[in-house]
Amino acid sequence: MPMNESELLIRTLAQRDIQPIAAAFAGLGWNKPASQYEKYLAEQQLGQRVMLVAFLREDFAGYVTICWLSDYPPFLAANIPEIVDFNVLPRFRRCGIGSSLMDAAEAWVSAYGSLVGIGVGLNADYGAAQRMYARRGYIPDGRGLMSAGSPVEYGKPVMVDDDLCLYFTKNLAGISKP
């Protein structure tokens, strides 16, 4: 579906968005209940997280969140905000919405600092994200493979799941602020 940029609205999460978002993911069979977005909204109100939501022609299309205090210890120690929980509904993929959400998230972070972090899963489900982050200039943080935020030890077996990832950073110098 081609996208006209004037038809795309990206803004912060509001209470009225929670049910439509949860319903959209329930329709896909994904476990993303309303309680998750209620938590995100509460964290946004406390200044701990920003959730940016995208609507195309009034239809919810996707979102991304920024955690100002990362759960990943190296980012937390270095005060690097982390982009987490990034989703675009399948029917809206490959039309620029994901890139627009990432542009908006990077602009938010650039208003507060010059470095942003992101983690990405290693299985094929994350292939598009892996490619997108590389194209956008994210580089590995050099700490290697992580499972649930902890280093994977050489020679030790690991479960391939959503907790198995690599972490990346990007220098945001020159990114225009919101």
Phi-psi region of 79 (alpha: psi -120 to 50; beta: other; left: phi over 0): left
* Domains of the chain, CATH where assigned: 5-171 (3.40.630.30)
Say whether 9 sits in a helix, a strand or coil: strand
Q: Tell me the per-residue pLDDT of 31-64, one tens digit each, with 9 for 90 and over.
A: 899 999 999 999 999 999 999 999 998 899 999 9
Looking at residue 3, its pLDDT comes to 52
Whole-angstrom distance, CA of residue 176 vs CA of residue 178: 7
- Rg of the chain (C-alpha set): 16
> Is residue 2 predicted with pLDDT exceeding 50?
no
For the record, the structure tokens of 29 come out as 């069979």
Pairing relationship of beta strands 164-171 and 139-140 according to DSSP bridges: antiparallel
Pairing relationship of beta strands 139-140 and 59-67 according to DSSP bridges: unpaired
Q: Tell me the per-residue pLDDT of 83-121, one tens digit each, with 9 for 90 and over.
A: 999 999 988 988 899 999 999 999 999 999 899 999 999
Which helix (H) or strand (E) segment holds residue 64: the answer is strand 59-67
